[in-house]
Chain A
């Protein structure tokens, strides 16, 4: 049978739509989680919360979005090496972020353990975010591999767009997590 050209939108448009739906769903997940925080402790937060560290984390993630954006631009200009550099830098920042979160957890366990309401909420939310970030890292790594193998060509450029969009989304989520857990 011949593959006749059904009149449906192009690959990219379709996938972009689907990804936005997925992001909407994920946004709901975090909305519920953040609501839980207010349910539990209202606006109270522990003294021991390391707010400067939170700011450092925020800066790291925001810069990772920036490096990724640079990578994307490089790719659009046909500069594969620039793309790979962008991906590597972004992944590096992501790993640093996770390591710092690890240290923060280790310190936090002593001050506001998981057996206190704020602690439980804090680890639940930052943990969920960290898992998302980890999956974002895997996506970036996959993009890196594909680029190295030379299959991330123009036809597959959507994958890069998707990976980047997801990463930026995780970044935006962090901003709301930061605001909820550290600022308010």
Chain B
């Protein structure tokens, strides 16, 4: 271990090479960091605005979600860029092999610290109001809307039972869920065993299906589409519910009104057959219950796989 002499910072020391470079008040460094911040921010915003990271959007309510997400991205770029600009600049500018003297004893800077505190508080408040509160209220209002169609979804380990009470149609573990485009649909969710959750990535909204109670979520599909073309169209269980959780999903097909009516009249007959678009590799995996371990209850795995 080399012995180091920990020199004390001396602002008048003419030999303090770094200090001399730096200018006495470090104004040049501040400007340079500011420029770096601006560049990083510009690059970041360009990347955020120029790329679409989100999957297909197919519901009106989802626009609230995507709007909030995009806005949060836009807000976070300058915040992150500020910290990173200081970090990168400092490391590039002030790294030393072995410190021969201490840096300037700056213990605080009232203006900067207070400014930081105030700006970050204001920012947090802004985020809370918009997109937070505005989005939340908009979604709450959407949820109040009079539905054109009610769909009851009952989650069962590990499939979904669907019924359209207004049409007297009930389907146990159907192969797909068909929905009319443009209609405001209220999903009434419940569960017969453990907690599951409703999530169609293309619709964005998520809501838990909890035994003993009914939660609702209102969605207005805006695009036709189907799981076969785009896996964002699936009703995916999004709360861990046991062995079959991963594959507890139901393909969704959004169709024109007329087609929906036609499907519904055909569907009234009972459980549907066929499982197109469901091939996910070895479909019978689920039934094996893992590596020979003893599973409690009806450990016979997912019912979906049985039909594949």
The answer to whether A and B touch in the complex, with CB atoms under 8 Å apart, is no
Chain A interface (Cβ < 8 Å from any Cβ of B): none
